[in-house]
Amino acid sequence: MAPPLLEVRRLSKEYRRVRAPWLPPVTVRAVDDVSFEVARGEAFGLVGESGSGKTTVARCIARLVTPTSGEVRFDGRDLLALRGAGLRAARRDLQLVFQDPGASLNPRIRVGRAVEEPLVIHRLGSGPERRARVAELFRLVGLDPSHVDRYPAEFSGGQRQRIALARALALNPSLVIADEPVSALDASIQAQVLDLFVDLRDRLNLTYLFIAHDLRVVRRLCARVAVMHRGGIVEAGPTEEVLGSPRHPYTQELVASEPKSLSALRGLPPSGFSLQ
């Protein structure tokens, strides 16, 4: 059996919060003893309400914040022990896609330059080679390469998320951490972007850590899921098993709160002109 691409072991993150100058600070545990594995080529979902700790887990894995304790192994490497060149090499293989593409794209930089930026930072390819790679990435995510000289404001929200995804794929990563990547989009655009995530996973053999609060998104993309509540994982397993027959009370509440499909009613709508 192949070893997992990502291993998270007993990960915890605490913050010190100052309530008032005359009161002692309190310790808030945002992530509490979290453990899970993600196999190569798998889409693994991390779900929970806002404040459950799922985004903090992602930020710890990506080394955007330093965990208080625990272990994170990525492709056999201890991520928390890496420094300098070793950390830069690991970050080439691990990329993030954030919830708001408008905030992650500089409004003053043309989108082609934004997608090219990771290649420049890691000194990959000549100028013409990088521009050819940008055009290839635009086609890969369903955008017109002739639009590389436009600015982010000239694109829709769904198109900006495609641009952010193209930038994340520029370095051919093994793992993409997607933090609520479709929650800010309209329902119809959500479906298109999710289809793109599925297509890219199959074509590029990508591994996803997919963070979401919308269970429909996780059902569509992820084979396995972990449910987070108050910083810890309360239930984990195959998606259909966890969400289809939830055991933990919090998971049951989460599933019960999932929006249900609307059904059409027979007959004509009531008239606003009728007084009877």
CATH number reported for the structural domain that contains residue 216 in this entry = 3.40.50.300
Q: Are 157 and 190 in contact (CB under 8 A)?
A: no
- Look up the domain containing 142 and give its range: 107-171
**Same domain, yes or no: 243 and 215:** yes
**Same domain, yes or no: 140 and 42:** no
pLDDT of residue 272: 52
**Same domain, yes or no: 178 and 208:** yes
Q: Are 40 and 5 in contact (CB under 8 A)?
A: yes
**Same domain, yes or no: 185 and 215:** yes
- Is 1 contained in some domain? no
**Same domain, yes or no: 86 and 10:** yes
- pLDDT of 186 above 60: yes
- Is 263 contained in some domain? no
> DSSP class of residue 265?
P
- Is 134 contained in some domain? yes
- Cross-sheet strand order for the sheet of 43-47: 94-97, 175-179, 207-212, 43-47, 224-229, 232-238
**Same domain, yes or no: 178 and 85:** yes
- Is 270 contained in some domain? no
- Cross-sheet strand order for the sheet of 77-78: 26-38, 6-17, 69-74, 77-78
pLDDT of residue 256: 92
pLDDT of residue 3: 87
Q: How confident is the model at residue 178 (pLDDT cuts 50, 70, 90)?
A: very high
**Same domain, yes or no: 187 and 249:** yes
**Same domain, yes or no: 124 and 223:** no
**Same domain, yes or no: 139 and 209:** no
pLDDT of residue 114: 95
pLDDT of residue 130: 95
Q: How confident is the model at residue 268 (pLDDT cuts 50, 70, 90)?
A: low
End-to-end alpha-carbon separation of the chain, Å?
Answer: 72
**Same domain, yes or no: 155 and 178:** no
Q: Report the number of distinct structural domains present in the chain.
A: 2
pLDDT of residue 24: 84
Counting residues of the chain whose pLDDT is more than 90, the rounded percentage is 71
> Using CA atoms, how far apart are residues 109 and 107, in angstroms rounded to an integer?
6
| Chain mean pLDDT for the chain | 90
Of 145, 171, 197, which closes a domain? 171
- Cα 61 to Cα 126, 195, 220: the distances in Å are 31, 26, 24
- pLDDT of 267 above 70: no
What's the CA angle centered on 97, arms 94 and 103, to 5 degrees? 135
* Alpha helices (H) along the chain: 54-61, 84-92, 101-104, 111-121, 127-140, 157-169, 187-204, 215-221, 239-244, 249-256
**Same domain, yes or no: 11 and 22:** yes
* pTM, two decimal places: 0.87
- Is 86 contained in some domain? yes
- Cα 155 to Cα 105, 140, 263: the distances in Å are 11, 17, 34
**Same domain, yes or no: 79 and 142:** no
> Using CA atoms, how far apart are residues 179 and 67, in angstroms rounded to an integer?
18
Give pLDDT tens digits for 24-71. 888 889 999 999 999 999 999 999 998 899 999 999 999 999 999 999
